[in-house]
Amino acid sequence: MGDKNQNTACCPKFDPAPWDNKIFQWDNKKFIKGKVFTLFYIPLNFGSVMRRLDKKVRQAGATIPDNLGLSDHTSKWNMDIYLTVDREVPGAENITLSGKFLSKVYEGAYKETGKWCKDFEDYTKGKNLEVKKWYMWYTTCPKCAKKYGKNYVSIIARVE
């Protein structure tokens, strides 16, 4: 995923404003699904899974709106990744998500994830909402986060 040339980035720079403290209504929003092996929640093959999904997207002539990829940590050993697409992608597991989704952006080291999750729970309760399913959006790879000087992570949860 990362480029060895320090002057380039493989991930687009993330603008948190459209995603921070926002509610979205999705109606059959298109995604393709991949599986990432994890060791105690730490992704082991995230880059190779993303490259494989990206190749399928490009071969289909599709795009990845907002570079949005939702991670669902299903266990200590697996994370499902949902990459948004603008059309069905042949040879991929195509799914859709519908409902009301709440998004909040955090910035910092991944070790802060537990604190962010607690804050997000309080945030949703403060809005009289209940999390039905939540996802993490790691907006850039670690190399690009270092290059940009910011490591943004958005929690996006279906609340209805």
Mean pLDDT confidence for 99-119: 95
Distance of CA 40 to the CA centre of its chain: 19
| Topology (CATH) of 24-158 | Multidrug-efflux Transporter 1 Regulator Bmrr; Chain A (3.20.80)
The reported pLDDT for the residue numbered 11 is 87
Q: How far is the C-alpha of 155 from the C-alpha of 65, rounded, in Å?
A: 17
Helix/strand/coil for 113: helix
Average pLDDT over the chain, rounded to an integer = 92
pLDDT band at residue 127 under the 50/70/90 scheme = very high
User: What does 25-78 look like in DSSP terms, one character per residue?
Assistant: EEEEEEEEEEEEEEETTEESSHHHHHHHHHHHHHHTT---GGG-EEEEEEETTE
The reported pLDDT for the residue numbered 160 is 87
Helix/strand/coil for 153: strand
Mean pLDDT confidence for 46-63: 94
Delimit the domains of the chain by residue range: 24-158
Q: Is the Cβ–Cβ distance between 71 and 137 less than 8 Å?
A: yes
Mean pLDDT confidence for 1-13: 62
Mean pLDDT confidence for 59-88: 96
Record the pTM.
0.89
pLDDT at 2 over 70: no
